[in-house]
Chains A and B, each alone.
Chain A
Amino acid sequence: MSAARQRRWLGPAMVAPAVVYMAALVALPVLMALFYSVSDARVGSDLIHFAGLRNFSGALATPAFRTALRNSLLFTLLSQILVIAGATCLALALKEAFRGRGLVRLLILLPWVAPISLGAIGWKWLLDSLYSVVNWMLSYAHLVDPVNPPMWLGEPKLAMLSVVLVHTWRTLPFATVILLAGLTSIPRDIPEAAAVDGAGFWRTHFSITLPMIRPIVLVAFLFGVVFTFTDMTTVYILTRGGPADATQVLPSLAFFTGILGGDLAGGAAISLFLFPLLLVGAVLLLRIARRAEVT
Chain B
Amino acid sequence: MAGRGARTAHRLVVAVFAIVLSFPFYWMALTSFKRTSDLYELKNNPLLFNESPTLSHWKLLFTGTLFPRWLGNTLAVGLAVVAITLVLAMPAAYALARLTGKWGERAGIGMFLMYLVPPTLLFIPLSRVVALLGLQDTLWALIVVYPTFTVPFATWLLMGFFKSIPKDLEDAAMVDGLTRFQAFVRVVVPISFSGLVTVSIFAFTLVLQEFVYALTFISSASSQTVGVGVPIYLVRGDVYYWGELMAACLFASLPVAIVYNLFLDRLIQGFTVGAVR
Interface residues of A (CB under 8 A from B): 3, 6-7, 10-12, 14-15, 17-19, 21-22, 25-30, 32-33, 36, 86, 89-90, 92-94, 96, 98, 102, 104-111, 113-126, 128, 130-131, 133, 136-137, 169, 172-173, 177, 181, 185, 192, 195, 201, 204, 226, 230-233, 236-237, 250-251, 254-255, 258-259, 264, 267-268, 271-272, 274-275, 278, 281-282, 285-286, 289, 292
Our count of residue pairs bridging A and B at CB distance below 8 angstroms stands at: 277
Does B125 contact A268, Cβ atoms closer than 8 Å? yes
The answer to whether A254 and B120 touch across the interface, beta carbons within 8 angstroms, is yes
B239 close to chain A: CB less than 8 A:
no
Q: Tell me the smallest distance from the CB of B3 to a CB of chain A, in Å.
A: 8
Whether the pair A106, B257 counts as a contact (CB closer than 8 A) is yes
Q: A291 to nearest B CB, angstroms?
A: 12
Inter-chain contact B124/A90, CB cutoff 8 Å? no
The listed residue (A86, A102, A192) touching B261 by CB distance below 8 A is A102
Select which of A7, A21, A251 is within 8 A of B99 by beta carbon: A7
Minimum C-beta distance from B140 to chain A (A): 13
Is B113 in contact with A282, judged by CB distance below 8 angstroms?
yes
Nearest Cβ in chain A — how far from B144, in angstroms?
7
Given known contacts A10-B95, A251-B118, what 10 new A-B pairs fall within 8 Å (CB)?
A15-B100, A21-B147, A26-B148, A96-B7, A131-B46, A169-B24, A259-B127, A272-B121, A285-B116, A286-B112
Q: Of A17, A22, A25, which is within 8 A of B91 by CB?
A: A17
Find out whether the CB atom of A104 lies under 8 angstroms from the CB atom of B124.
no
Q: How far is the CA of A119 from the CA of B230 in the complex (A)?
A: 11
Say which residue of B10, B21, B228 sits within 8 Å of A107 (CB atoms): B21
Specify which chain A residues have a CB less than 8 angstroms from the CB of B155 in the assembled complex: 18
Q: Find out whether the CB atom of B107 lies under 8 angstroms from the CB atom of A15.
A: yes
The answer to whether A114 and B121 have CB atoms under 8 Å apart is: no
Interface residue B75 (Cβ < 8 Å from any Cβ of A): no
Within 105-135 of B, Cβ neighbours of A (below 8 Å) are at 107, 109, 111-114, 116-129
Q: Contact check: which of B91, B120, B147 meets A232 at CB < 8 Å?
A: B120
Contact flags (1/0) for B186-209 with A, using CB distance below 8 Å?
A: 000000000000000000010011
Q: Are A21 and B121 neighbours in the complex by a CB distance under 8 Å?
A: no
Which B residues lie within 8 Å of A29 (CB)?
122, 125-126, 129
Cα distance A38–B260 in the bound complex, in angstroms: 43
Q: Is the CB of A108 within 8 A of B227?
A: no
What sequence of 0s and 1s flags, for each residue 28-42 of chain B, a beta carbon within 8 Å of any chain A beta carbon? Answer: 100100000001101
By the criterion CB–CB under 8 Å, are A125 and B120 in contact? no
Q: Which residue of B lies closest to A27 (CB)?
A: B114
A291–B106 CA distance with the chains assembled, in angstroms: 16
Min Cβ gap A78→B in Å is 18
Segment of B12-20, B49-57, B58-66 engaged in the interface with chain A: B12-20
Instruction: For residue A51, give the distance in angstroms from its CB to the closest CB of chain B.
Output: 15
Whole-angstrom distance between the alpha carbons of A169 and B92 in the complex?
36
Chain A nearest Cβ from B81, distance in angstroms = 12
Across the interface, name the chain B residue whose C-beta is closest to A195: B1
Q: Report the minimal beta-carbon distance from A73 to chain B, rounded to whole angstroms.
A: 16
Indicate if the CB atoms of A117 and B114 lie closer than 8 Å.
Answer: no
> What's the nearest-Cβ distance from chain A to residue B102, in Å?
12
How many Å from the CB of B154 to the closest CB on chain A?
A: 9
- Give the complex CA separation of A253 and B227 in angstroms: 21
- Listed by A's residue number, 21 A-B pairs whose Cβ atoms lie within 8 Å are A11-B104, A18-B92, A18-B155, A22-B151, A26-B122, A33-B122, A93-B11, A104-B18, A106-B257, A109-B261, A114-B25, A115-B209, A130-B42, A136-B45, A172-B17, A181-B268, A195-B2, A255-B216, A259-B216, A264-B124, A281-B116
Contact A125 B27 (CB under 8 A): yes
What 1/0 mask marks residues of chain B from 258 to 271 whose CB sits below 8 Å from any chain A CB?
10110010001001
On chain B, the residues within 8 Å of A96 by CB distance are: 7, 10
Hey, which chain B residues are within 8 Å of A282, CB to CB? 113, 116
Closest to A95 in B: B10
Give Cα distance in the complex from A226 to B118, angstroms: 9
Q: Which 6 residue pairs are nearest across A and B when measured between Cβ atoms? A: A11-B99, A230-B118, A114-B253, A251-B120, A32-B125, A14-B91
Pairwise interchain contact B261-A30, C-beta atoms closer than 8 A: no
Which residues of B have CB within 8 Å of A18? 88-89, 91-92, 111, 151, 155
Interface residues of B in 211-232 (CB under 8 A from A): 211-212, 215-216, 226-228, 230-231
Q: Which residue of A lies closest to B268 (CB)?
A: A181
Query: In the complex, are the beta carbons of B17 and A86 less than 8 A apart?
Result: yes
Chain B contacts of A10 at CB under 8 A?
Answer: 95, 99, 180-181
Chain B residues whose CB sits within 8 angstroms of the CB of A192 once the complex forms: 1
Compute how far the CA of A109 lies from the CA of B205 in the bound complex, rounded to whole angstroms. Answer: 13
A18, A93, A274, A285 interface centre (most CB from chain B within 10 Å): A18
B13 A25 Cβ-Cβ under 8 A: no
- Complex alpha-carbon distance, A264 and B125, angstroms: 8
Cβ-defined partner of A22 (8 Å) among B127, B152, B240: B152
A94-B14 CB under 8 A given contacts A36-B125, A114-B253, A282-B116:
yes
Contact yes or no, B253 A113, CB < 8 A: yes
B77 at the A interface (CB under 8 A): no
